[in-house]
A = this chain, B = another copy of it.
């Protein structure tokens, strides 16, 4: 039997993304042994029951011992502490990567704890659903989606190639990008839409009680899509906003200006302005369909 690419893999956090990755590693026979690490015993028991891993631990340092590949998949506010804890336990030659939705803050928090001879490859598989936890994962989650890797000047090319190959095996299209640029692109494609969806749904829940129940009832007209987005993991998203603050605030500022202009057009009955924008945005959808991301 062929030796697996990674004899021992440590998954730190076993939520939607890492549990989906575990399923891919199994399917593709890329891992010899998988150890899952999480804070809650209940999560680990679910992971074991689903056969996503061979062993479990609540101790990150124990998890990474002898691991060839370590994948950080917790909310990113925990990365710094985890990196500090696992740093001394990492095996020379090991590859550390992550799945966080923000990259500059991750590099800032993790890099200082990576010892010489260990390779850090910051990464972001752009995939997900509004569900969380190990039971919500599935191997096809990554299929045909983009994975953005944001190597630093120090990143080892072989380690980068290994992580690239892993995500390609998951069915992803892999690109590399500067971390700062990644954070800006994701601020508009993901972080701002989530922030707005959270806000709209929050605004609706603050309405008088009778109105609120009707909002649920008649949600089919657009609101429903927002509630799906606004059902995403609260801690993960808290961390994203706190850790991509500058880019999110920049995009939010642009959005607010544009919204104010539309508000003014509605107030003054400027129909042509509205129609022009709505015609322009319709074309964007076509581009996305052509780019096969619909």
Contacts and interface: CB of A to CB of B under 8 A. Distances in A.
A222 B215 CA distance: 22
A224 B188 CA distance: 11
Given A221-B186, A234-B282, A271-B242, A252 B258 contact: no
A41 interface: no
Given A217-B146, A266-B242, A259 B291 contact: no
A285 B228 contact: yes
B202 A281 contact: yes
B221 A249 contact: no
Interface residues of A, number: 91
Given A203-B251, A214-B185, A267-B245, A227 B284 contact: yes
A279 to B, nearest CB: 5
A202 B274 contact: no
Residue from A215, A216, A245 whose CB has the most chain B CB atoms within 10 Å: A216
A197 interface: yes
Contacts of A218: 126, 146, 148, 185-186, 189-190, 293
Interface stretch (A2-10, A15-23, A152-160, A205-213): A205-213
A223 B77 CA distance: 24
18 contacts: A127-B220, A145-B220, A185-B211, A188-B211, A189-B204, A189-B221, A189-B222, A192-B200, A193-B221, A197-B222, A201-B284, A206-B254, A216-B293, A217-B291, A224-B288, A231-B284, A234-B274, A238-B275
Interface of A: 77, 101, 126-128, 130, 145-146, 148, 184-186, 188-207, 211, 214-232, 234-235, 237-239, 241-242, 245, 248-249, 251-252, 254-256, 258-259, 262-263, 266-267, 269, 271, 274-275, 277-282, 284-288, 291, 293-294
Given A101-B221, A194-B222, A198-B262, 9 more contacts: A127-B220, A186-B221, A188-B207, A189-B219, A194-B221, A195-B262, A203-B258, A219-B291, A234-B274
Q: Identify the 3 closest CB pairs spanning chains A and B, nearest first.
A: A190-B221, A193-B222, A234-B278
